[in-house]
Structure 1
Amino acid sequence: MPEVNLVLGTLSFGTTVDVDTSFDLLDRFVDAGGTLLDTADCYAFWDDPSGRGGQSEEVLGRWLAARPGRRERVYLSSKVGAEPGGPGDWPANRQGLSAAAVRAGAEGSLRRLGTDRIDLYWAHMEDRSVDLAETAEGFGALVAEGVVGRVGCSNHPVWRVERARQIARRNGWAGFSALQLRHSYLQPRPGIPVSGVNHRFAWVTDEVVDYVDSEPELDLWVYTALLNGFYGRPEERPLPGAYDHPGTPRRLAALDKVAGELGVSRNQVVLAWLIGGRPGATPIVGVSRPEQLDEALAGARLRLPDEHRGLLDGIL
Structure 2
Amino acid sequence: MHHADLRELHRLMLVARRLDEEAIALQRQGVLPAYAPAKGQEAAQVGSAAALDLARDFAFPGYRDLGAAVAMGVDLVAYLATHLNIWHGGLYDPRASRLAPFNAVVGGPVTHAVGWAMGATLDDTGGAAITYFGDGASSQGDVHEAMNFAGVYRLPVVFFCQNNGWAISVPTGRQVAGGSVAARAAGYGIEGVRVDGNDVTAVFEATRTALDRAREGGGPTVIEAMTFRMGPHSTSDDPGRYRTLEEEQSWRDRDPLVRAAARLTAGEVAAAEDHATEVVREVREGLLALEAPPAEELFSFVYREPTKALLEQQRTWKESLDA
TM-score bracket, normalised by the shorter chain, equals 0.3 to 0.5
More helix by share: 2
* Normalised TM-score (structure 1): 0.36
Which has the greater radius of gyration?
2
Q: TM-score, normalised by structure 2?
A: 0.35
